[in-house]
Amino acid sequence: MEEEVNTTARTATVSRTTKETDITLTVALDGTGMSSVNSGVVFLDHMLTNFSRHSGFDLALECRGDLDVDDHHSVEDVALVLGSAISEALGGKRGIQRYGWALIPMDEALARCALDLGGRSYCVFNAEFRRPVIQGFSTEMVEHFFLSLSGTLKANIHLSILEGENTHHKIEALFKSFAYAMKAAVAINGTEIPSTKGKL
C-alpha cells in the first residue's frame, strides 16, 4: 500500500491496488463527520457513512472491485485500507485516550463495542444475522470486515449484539457502536504515550 501522511493534522491517505480491487481512502480524525463513500456495495456505503457521521471522522473512499465475483474482496480490502489509514493518521498516538467503548441501541437491537488502540491486533465478534444479504452486502462479511480492520489498525476490537432480531438494526448498531468507541479512543486528553511501555 502507498501511504501519505500529513504531519500537521491527523489525516492520512492510503491507496491499495490488486488484481481484485483498486482503492483510495482518505481519513481525517479531527473532522466533522463529512463523507463521500463509494465502495460499490450499497449497504457497506450506508454503514461507512454512519461510521463517519458518528465518529466525527471525515472519510473519502473510492473502490473499484470485482463485484462480478462477489462482495468479499471489496469489503475485505476496504476494511484493510480503512484500518491502515486510521493507524497512519494516529501517528505515534501521543496523548490519545487509547481505549473506547460504547453501548448503542437501535430499536430492539443493542450493540456493544470495546476497543484498545494499543498496537496489538485481535477481534472478538459475537453476532448472528437472519438475513444472508442486504443490498449486495453479505452479512457474514460483517465479522470479516472488523477482523480485517483490526489487523491493519493494530487494535483489539470486541463487538457483540446483546439484544435484537432485525438484521439491519443489528449491523447498523454494531457500526455505530464502533464509531463512538473510536471517537473516544482517538480523543486527545494528554501529552504522553498512554502506556507504561512508553510506546504503542
Residue 92: inside a domain: yes
Nearest to 121 by CA among 159, 144, 148: 148
> Residue 192: inside a domain, yes or no?
no
Q: Hey, which residues does 65 pair with through a beta bridge? A: 21
Range of the domain at 17: 2-185
What nine digits make up the cell of 37? 463513500
Q: How many structural domains compose the chain?
A: 1
Tell whether 193 is covered by a domain.
no
Residue 43 CA, chain-centre distance (Å), reads 14
Domain presence at residue 27: yes
User: Is residue 190 included in any domain, yes or no?
Assistant: no
Q: Is-contact 135 44, C-beta < 8 A?
A: no
pTM equals 0.94
Per-residue pLDDT of the chain (200 residues; tens, 9 = 90+): 655 544 469 999 999 999 999 999 999 999 999 999 999 999 999 999 999 999 999 999 999 999 999 999 999 999 999 999 999 999 999 999 999 999 999 999 999 999 999 999 999 999 999 999 999 999 999 999 999 999 999 999 999 999 999 999 999 999 999 999 999 999 999 888 888 777 78
Residue 124 lies in a domain: yes
Domain CATH number, residue 19:
3.30.230.40
Instruction: Please report whether residue 137 resides in a domain.
Output: yes
Pull the grid cell for residue 98. Answer: 487509547
Q: Is residue 163 part of a domain?
A: yes
The 10 Å CB-count burial string (b at 16+, else e) for 29-40 is: bebebebebebb
